[in-house]
Chain A
Amino acid sequence: MSAAETLAQTLLAQMQDAGAQLVSADILQPAETLLDLYGEDIRARAYVTHDPALGEMMLRPDFTVPVVQAHMQGGAEPARYCYAGPVFRKQDQGRAREYLQVGYEVFARDNPARADAEVFAHFAQLLSGYDLRPVTGDIGILKAAVAGLDTSARRRAALMRHIWRPKRFRALLERMGGQGPLAAPRADLLRALQDAPPEQAGPVVGLRSKDEIAARIAALIEDAATPPLPASQIAAVEAVLNLRGSARDVARDLRAQGWDALTPALDRLEARLDALQDAGIDTASLPFEASFGRTTMEYYDGFVFGFIADRADLPPVATGGRYDALTAVLGQGRAIPAVGGVIRPDSLIALGLIAPGGGA
């Protein structure tokens, strides 16, 4: 057994001691579910293969999907699961293509703040022997900021869909504010739509119907009549995105903005911080970055966290968060609040313990 495999077993045993049930997952996963969740990008990151009977399959890029599926097929509630095994990711450069993940997931309906705190505190304890910097964030606050914008439902939905794609998110914000490079072509397009009916442009080929085209034209014209997003609101969203500091300070600063739409999300943040404090985490010094997880963790929709080594050659040693919406998608209507995370034992081995005999 390699050092990383031995460490994985040690971590797994500690997770089981904490009450988690050990689960396993197939290495070969149906591609369709992963593609639906992650989009086409996953093809660039996961190894895709083909089975004559089952169709397109992927070497598991993570455990989250199979663990959620297993839970949905008849897990108890609440449930705690742990697992360990290799995951597979394509890399253009030198990083490992196959590496171990050890994970811990909590599925619980009651008291999400306590479940968040439980997972984070457990990871902090498992990793206490290593020189790591914790980071936390909250995608729920970003979503609340978007939901609280004073504009059309259509615009809010468009922004919400692209929270995880910062470049497009910014382009959309600019266009909705009546500025940016997208504004001019959009004005041209509207003029063209008003001048020439679609039938003149060419025959409707393909599956997208004339009705669908007409519906989008109506949406575009409605959107053109929507007043520009006020600069103050764009600034407010960007201020939220740029917030970083200690978690308590960030929570206080956000409250001070007096933005009512954020209140429920801030209540949840503070309940989580209280729960973390109860679990022995010093929340006065706990780092919080509002944009943490924004580009890399698409399915998280609430609390997010990472444990990071200050070494350029190492990816985050541990990452995790809350993914309530994912369970709804995978459960086809049935949903259960879920929070969890993974540790990369290989990175811990590369890093080494702070002091022999200490920590994990």
Chain B
Amino acid sequence: MIEQRAVTTKPETQQPLLSVRDLKVAFPSEAGRVDAVRGVSFDLHRGKTLGIVGESGSGKSVTSMAVMGLLPDYASVTGSVTLGGDNLLDLDDRQMSKVRGRRIGMIFQDPLSSLTPIFSIGAQIVEALQIHQDISTAAAWKRAVELLDLVGIPNPDRRAKGFPHEFSGGMRQRAVIAMAIANDPDLIIADEPTTALDVTVQAQILDVLKTAQRETGAAVVMITHDLGVVAGSADDVMVMYAGRAVERAGVDELFARPRMPYTIGLMGAIPRLDDRARGALIPVPGTPPLLVDLPDACPFAARCPVVQDACLQGEPPLVALAGSDTGDEHAAACLRAAEIDGGAIGGTPIYPVPAVRESGVAAVPREDRPKVLELSGVTKTFPLTRGGLLKRKVGTVFAVNGIDLDIHEGETLGLVGESGCGKTTTLLEIMGLQPPEQGSIAVCGQDTANLRRRQDISAVRRNIQMVFQDPMGALDPRMTVFDILAEPLRAIGERDRRTLDTKVGDLMELVGLDPEHRDRFPSAFSGGQRQRIGIARALATKPQLLVLDEPVSALDVSVQAGVINLLNDLKAELGLSYLFVAHDLSVVRHISDRVAVMYLGRIVEIGATDSVFDDPRHPYTRALLSAIPLPDPVAERTRDRVLLKGDLPSPTDDRPGCRFVSRCPLHLTLSDPQKEQCRGVTPPLTARGGSDHRDACHFADTTTSTSVDN
């Protein structure tokens, strides 16, 4: 009887911890009043986690800043934010400072800049403690060390005296979490807490956040653009678009039965790590609206494939939907929400699946196709020096240490690994077209050691072009699109204005841009369009190989899908080869034919994509794959995780032995003579069972149960 009552007590009957009602935030701007948040309401109960998902500019961060009272004075904020009975919007800065840090803790996106560089980590935590508690400095230091220990910083009493620049990104984010939970807050707001971090570190930080939540019993607002992170950590999810919540539901309900076309679009646009079919991704067309003078209509109407006239007759409110069988509330701001079922209306999918272009090259077996890039034993070192005027060499960083890889025509090789593993150095070595320190690089059959004359180098350069990560930084803001695209053509000797004109027009059409826009400047284009310009520029010289350095990581999910599809189409149409560097393994799985995993300057596993992803052999690859959150709450909950401890060590020595030993979960389970072998003998890349799939681990085949203990 008593038990049953406990079960039937719904959370709604309790007083919510945080209650936001009709929150509106507007900023003045030169273009007019920007309505960044336009009426957001939600309740959050103690111990629960609310995930707020949305693309950049959807108002999710502004919402959290409004709750914290950290918006600039010129922002106009209306509505109500009630935390335990007080309306936070009525409090001034002084009163609000009693709430911040004590009742609400906050974790920010970029751990590199969110700590004051000139104070030690310990001092900053002590400050957080002493603002709200009347404790002695000695006691506060003791507590700070305990907090650092809790968030998993090794040697906390020594590390507390360290300054932020002595900490890695992941360690700094742990320190920020320690600061946020220092005063046992009721609410923790995490604004993209893992976006700036590597996947393996992301998994650690999400784990620490869960620990922190367990220790404090706090409610968490988790703001992110990554549906995988939400699936693994949230109880309820709110999807934001153009400053409003467009869909809200429990996490299982939302992922199982999304009812708003935007949510469906977001889910269709992300490549899945567990997706083997590799159909085209489904991009959401268009871009989010500017939040200035929005008409009274559904803000998603312009991008929605199932838009009706009624959608333009007034903005649909967020209304609860009937018929959700889990009992949780499910609300969507869509007139057609009731018709939508399983991403389709009346059996027809809302988003038409684009056709995949088949590559003619793929018909020829890989071995028979010519190699466009071949690296053998490439090594790049940097000297470590000390002293000002007279520098002494005190060590060597082996950024790239004996790499072998090859790319055949019409093939995509994905190069993955944590930051600092040598991916970018490898790319720079290739793009430099210089003979490497050791080993050799051959581009389209030409060994770079034989490239002496300027003409030879530029002839090879034509065949290998690069696309950069940041589409903003990679385009000169003072050149028109025409100039940007004509520059490589002029560089290879094209002078005729009319020929340039047609070629630039063709290039723009090839990447899906309107040739009419050739006289515009890069600032007139959205992020996705700018990346298309970058791709068009790389294609101008008709290269055989494109080197892509994180080409989609700066783009929003819905835009990213379009660029990935474009890359796949171009490959099929032009028979291109790609060297694709990315930290997002889902994207790599989607786009690559083969994948190489790097760790501390070495390749630890290489092979056909499906083979590596389905049957990872090296313990590092396993850990990397298991760290990626899946956008599927059920799979997230049931999955075993290999959590790597610590950060990437610095590659300063070249002693024999496996470099992964310090973090290897498999190593711990081995017998002593086997451990000795790991430490003493460098494992070579070996093929097992005669396939093309090779790994650099002595004991990869000895056991497969590495995922249990962490």
The answer to whether A and B assemble together is no
Residues of A within 8 A of B (CB): none
Residues of B within 8 A of A (CB): none
